[in-house]
Amino acid sequence: MSLVDLIRQVSILIGLPAALVACVAAAVIVIARDWRLVLLAYALLSVMLALLLSQVIPTEWASLQVIVGGLIAVMLFLSARQLRWASRGGSGRGMQLLLRPGHEARWPQVASLSSFRLLAVALTAVAYLALRDDVRLPVVQPLLRDTIFWLGLVGLLGLALHEEPLHAGLALLTFLGGFQLLLFSLTQQRMLVGITGGGQLLLGLAISYLVLSRGLAETQPASGPGVSRWQA
């Protein structure tokens, strides 16, 4: 038995745990505020997606998801770290949330509460349990169908709740992860693997740029040089 066959059989045996871990990681991306925890959850989600994809496409193709997810996580980590280093020139308080006058009454400020996002994810889970049996995808495995449905719901929820490029971008990547599972469950073409992987990398670059540009721009009008958007 080759190593590729072994990985495929292992992915089948741990299919349910991989799906559960992927769903939990997607929820953490939406709920958590700490950018390091969010990036760790996304890296874990990428690994679990690769294991699930290996059930419907060749293992060599599925492993590309781990590489792409790791590169995106590294890019976003370096962008966030650069903002932290830039914020140390003044008070040394690290990266903090920047609140402008009148910002408190805005919807994203309400959504920035972790308890609010936890409640939103809990309500989404209730809706998921109520509707999962009504989702009909005959050509998709039931386990993958449930994972696709959950990733789609949580990804859209994250886009609705977050205004920061880091969290909103990772929510979009979570949604695209569910789309990948659906796409490769319907068709297995090598060209689509390259297109989806390249598209995710370009999206990761765009998110990294927005993280840096917005974070650096919002530190300029602040009263002190040590104020930024994200927590240390």
Give the model confidence (pLDDT) of 22-62 as tens digits.
999 999 999 998 888 999 999 999 999 988 888 888 888 88
**Domain membership of residue 20 as a residue range:** 3-219
Q: Looking at the domain assignment, is residue 226 inside a domain?
A: no
Highest mean pLDDT among 12-16, 47-51, 111-115: 47-51
Q: Looking at the domain assignment, is residue 227 inside a domain?
A: no
Instruction: With cut-offs at 50, 70 and 90, classify the pLDDT of residue 11.
Output: low
pTM above 0.85, yes or no: no
Q: Looking at the domain assignment, is residue 224 inside a domain?
A: no
Which residue, among 110, 109, 114, 93, has the nearest Cα to 37 in the 3D structure?
114
Q: Looking at the 3D structure of the chain, how many domains does it have?
A: 1
Q: Looking at the domain assignment, is residue 229 inside a domain?
A: no
Q: Looking at the domain assignment, is residue 232 inside a domain?
A: no
Instruction: With cut-offs at 50, 70 and 90, classify the pLDDT of residue 222.
Output: very low
Both tokens of residue 156? Answer: 């859209």
Q: Looking at the domain assignment, is residue 133 inside a domain?
A: yes
- Judge whether residue 231 has pLDDT over 50: no
pLDDT (mean) for 201-215: 88
- Judge whether residue 208 has pLDDT over 50: yes
